[in-house]
A and B are shown apart, each in its own frame.
Chain A
């Protein structure tokens, strides 16, 4: 990884002091995870626990005439069977609004919707019992076309249009000398985390329940579980179990309420682990999108107006569709200065699988559209696509189409230049191995069949929650002397470690602020601490990082007060310097360990980002906290006759504010690129007539090492004024413009339009045969 920008020189000296902000310590759970010793939520175990199993609808849309649980209850080893009739509290749940039934009662609205759950002595008994439940369905004609859904008869009391959002910006009548138009389509991607949904619910003596579960946000789960159980929030305690990846797919409740209902009904601990196929039905996916765009520009290449229409298929229930649509509409033009815009977005309800959060959250889908449009425009103007992007790149103090003025770091030109400037890979070696060609191990191509293309794409996305949401984070820090007298800092946060490495950053931050080497992270639990907000939206480094930093600052002040008392001087005469308090006048020093002798210190702090506002009727308002920018250049080898591809290299520039842990930043970039090119090349939940056709890793294809290109990255470090350490999030941008860059490269290699992600072999091969 190459690094450019402010703060680099400073870090050399920091690095000499060991694992602090800007260093790359090994993550505390790293060795366990690589050795296979880390306990994931699927490894939870308790004596005498039962096994839960969910019964799901085989129908896409149906009326439920009756449910007979009798045959299941009569089976040996079965301890509890629950249905909608047994939900003690609120019958529905949901992230934005509770519109999704805990169990379907009268109507089934998607393939795989939960209808009942069983707890039994053995997983096999639970599976057999679930199958023994008799459900009398009356199948209905499913509503599966998102365009048709807008005006179709409602399939839910809340209607079919989740949100209709229009951005009107500048002169709507404006037009340009050059106009390009296009339609684009994005398929349904899955988060495909490796650790399937799993958890263990334990009934408690107070009539409440303890739930150990892999999630992204303990407190929002807790509130939904408590509401449906009809229990006060403090009697529902959620504890974070080992999370095997998330990517947005664990923001929504999956098995949480079912498990707690079973445990309370059976009076015994109940464990549930989804198998891979069930996992595909158990969580929301990335919204499929249909996009229409029209770009206007002057003959010189200045953008004049962007018109767009975006339709997101939200599936059967709301989940976070409203917020995803907001992002899609806000970022529809991409990271460019656009004086006039008319952008209309719909998020609609259909009988397709529910969609919600996934890495990139609305910015991903529109990026396929706005970047294809920028290339079309460059072609129409006969200018270099990179030059066109540089010319229109956003700068600080520019306005977004929502009217929001960019007051933070906006290094769009820098990320574009960085991505464009890495050396191109060497041309393919005719004598090289076939494995390196499109088709890989299948040996489908010889070098003569292959053409190389280069494509470019840039993107932007917000950090943290938007439109007035106060997604604060909480941290408690305790400083005490260990047995050897040396200080130990214990940090308690409810931050979900989902693999992103917050556990590492938290230790780095405490070391940085207090100079205390030993930093322990207490387990994350709603019983111990307030909310951290979600591990999503690239927000935890900023938000939970900010809470940690605040807690450190408070304890630093208290250490100074203690020192001043000992020295009998004013606190203002004391400074905190790398683990010691210094008395300025005399140069006397006291170590943190000495100051902890009287008693440990402890504080709990909440960190809030600056307030944002909801978008108004014209889609205007300061809806976002901060923005991240990235650019990707893809080099792709294409076998057009067969439509097979091999991505050779991804070169990227990414705006990170500041790399708090450069190795982890690299990890996020490489992993995000894998997910981004996955969407461009192969990752798609195939849904026909509402039915999921490929709920397995046999048929939902993820990139393998033979599909993964070399990644060359430059991180651009321009400190973000508002952010702790100037650090922006880094998790999402690599997954946004990497895929669009790949499709641009395929267009470059073949001259074909390529308007759909993922691009399927037949899409290229038919068009090639037709054109050739």
Chain B
């Protein structure tokens, strides 16, 4: 029987070296995607580089300008008070992922590298124009999420590259993550939406999951609603019923969903418009 070699690096640099030294080696983080694929016979790496001992990957840092989230941050970690108050929608997304066991093991880096259309951290990262920091044999590079996640389960991550961390700019204002599934917990998204309202820049950022091959920004909806919101209203930003309804329609229009065994394209489009609008209504008051 062929037995995979396992490397147990304790630093990112060691991990990069281990990847380079064992051709075909693959990174193992929480294993919640990796091991499923092994069970299904879809993945049989000759060597494994396990990241659990790389402590620097599990750090996160919240500054007034940015939030830096290590690739080894688990879904359970995303509920950490400092991190969740800076990125409440990330914590909300994390709460929807799998079961407690999966949230204790699964990581942000694994979610990005898996690049599933249903990856639940991805819409918020897309909404925030996240930057992904990768390290390989020739050093570190930074790429946008869109450059990294190139299609359904495909990325531009090199075979000897490690995702080190994800960096987002802080946006003052409310944010939401909403996810539709046929079950009330532990379900793969049929449609999801992240909505970020920046009350200083007067911007609304909306990104959608599970309705296109990669997370998509609903730019037309963003532009429309940023114009339509009365940002200076007493009691906080507000928008009219009509503007909110139009926002929902424009969001639905940004989706290019498919029909599969989980749902239909038509429902996904309908649902993503509804949830984006509801998410926004939690951030922005409805004008009478």
Task: Point out residues on A near B: beta carbons under 8 Å.
Answer: 122, 124-125, 127, 275, 277, 435, 438-446, 449, 641-644, 646, 681-682, 686, 688, 693-694, 698-699, 701, 703-707, 760-762, 765-766, 769
Known A-B contacts A124-B1, A765-B271; the reply to A444 vs B264 at CB < 8 A is: no
Q: Hey, which chain B residues are within 8 Å of A682, CB to CB?
A: 182-183
Cα(A642)–Cα(B190), bound, Å: 11
The contact of B185 among A125, A277, A642, A704, by CB within 8 Å, is: A704
Q: Report the minimal beta-carbon distance from B48 to chain A, rounded to whole angstroms.
A: 16
Q: Hey, which chain B residues are within 8 Å of A762, CB to CB?
A: 263-264, 266-267, 270
Q: Is the CB of B186 within 8 A of A443?
A: no
Among the 9-residue stretches B77-85, B129-137, B150-158, B172-180, the one with 4 or more Cβ atoms under 8 Å from chain A is B172-180
Enumerate 9 A-B pairs (CB-CB under 8 Å) in ascending A order: A442-B184, A444-B178, A642-B180, A694-B262, A701-B183, A704-B184, A704-B185, A761-B180, A765-B267
Q: Hey, which chain A residues are within 8 Å of B186, CB to CB?
A: 441, 704
Interface residues of B in 1-20 (CB under 8 A from A): 1
Cα(A521)–Cα(B271), bound, Å: 55
Which one of A449, A641, A693 has the highest number of Cβ atoms from chain B below 10 Å of its Cβ? A641
Q: Is B187 an interface residue (CB 8 A)?
A: yes
Interface residues on B, range: 35 or more
Q: Is B224 an interface residue (CB 8 A)?
A: no
Cα(A766)–Cα(B41), bound, Å: 38
Among the 9-residue stretches B141-149, B163-171, B274-282, the one with 4 or more Cβ atoms under 8 Å from chain A is B274-282
Q: Report the minimal beta-carbon distance from A551 to chain B, rounded to whole angstroms.
A: 46
Q: Is the CB of A442 within 8 A of B179?
A: yes
Q: Hey, which chain A residues are within 8 Å of B40, CB to CB?
A: 277
Q: Hey, which chain B residues are within 8 Å of A686, CB to CB?
A: 261
Cα(A706)–Cα(B186), bound, Å: 9
Q: Hey, which chain B residues are within 8 Å of A441, CB to CB?
A: 95-96, 179, 184-186
Q: Is the CB of B271 within 8 A of A694?
A: no
Q: Smallest CB-CB separation from A694: which chain B residue?
A: B261
Cα(A765)–Cα(B261), bound, Å: 17
Q: Hey, which chain A residues are within 8 Å of B177, CB to CB?
A: 443
Q: Hey, which chain A residues are within 8 Å of B187, CB to CB?
A: 442, 701
Interface residues of B in 230-268 (CB under 8 A from A): 260-264, 266-267
Q: Is B51 an interface residue (CB 8 A)?
A: no
Q: Smallest CB-CB separation from A76: which chain B residue?
A: B1
Q: Smallest CB-CB separation from A701: which chain B residue?
A: B183
Q: Smallest CB-CB separation from A703: which chain B residue?
A: B183
Known A-B contacts A122-B1, A694-B261; the reply to A706 vs B184 at CB < 8 A is: yes
Q: Smallest CB-CB separation from B186: which chain A residue?
A: A704
Cα(A693)–Cα(B262), bound, Å: 9
Cα(A602)–Cα(B183), bound, Å: 53
Q: Is B101 an interface residue (CB 8 A)?
A: no
Q: Is the CB of A699 within 8 A of B262?
A: yes
Known A-B contacts A125-B1, A439-B184, A701-B187; the reply to A444 vs B267 at CB < 8 A is: no
Q: Report the minimal beta-carbon distance from B177 to chain A, rounded to whole angstroms.
A: 7
Q: Is the CB of A446 within 8 A of B180?
A: no
Cα(A451)–Cα(B271), bound, Å: 18
Q: Smallest CB-CB separation from B187: which chain A residue?
A: A701
Beyond the given A765-B270, A766-B266, could you list 20 further A-B residue pairs with CB under 8 A, ordered by the A residue number? A442-B184, A443-B92, A444-B275, A681-B182, A681-B183, A688-B261, A699-B261, A699-B262, A701-B187, A704-B184, A706-B185, A707-B183, A707-B184, A707-B185, A761-B180, A761-B263, A762-B263, A762-B266, A762-B267, A766-B267
Cα(A439)–Cα(B1), bound, Å: 46
Cα(A443)–Cα(B185), bound, Å: 10
Q: Is the CB of B278 within 8 A of A444?
A: yes
Q: Report the minimal beta-carbon distance from B94 to chain A, rounded to whole angstroms.
A: 10
Q: Report the minimal beta-carbon distance from A319 to chain B, rounded to whole angstroms.
A: 24
Q: Report the minimal beta-carbon distance from B1 to chain A, rounded to whole angstroms.
A: 6
Q: Is B63 an interface residue (CB 8 A)?
A: no
The contact of A641 among B1, B182, B274, by CB within 8 Å, is: B274
Q: Is the CB of B1 within 8 A of A642?
A: no
Q: Is the CB of A127 within 8 A of B41?
A: yes
Q: Is the CB of A693 within 8 A of B179?
A: no
Q: Is B45 an interface residue (CB 8 A)?
A: no
Q: Report the minimal beta-carbon distance from A587 to chain B, rounded to whole angstroms.
A: 63
Q: Is the CB of B178 within 8 A of A443?
A: yes
Q: Is the CB of A440 within 8 A of B261?
A: no
Q: Hey, which chain B residues are within 8 Å of A760, CB to CB?
A: 182, 263
Q: Hey, which chain B residues are within 8 Å of A646, CB to CB?
A: 184
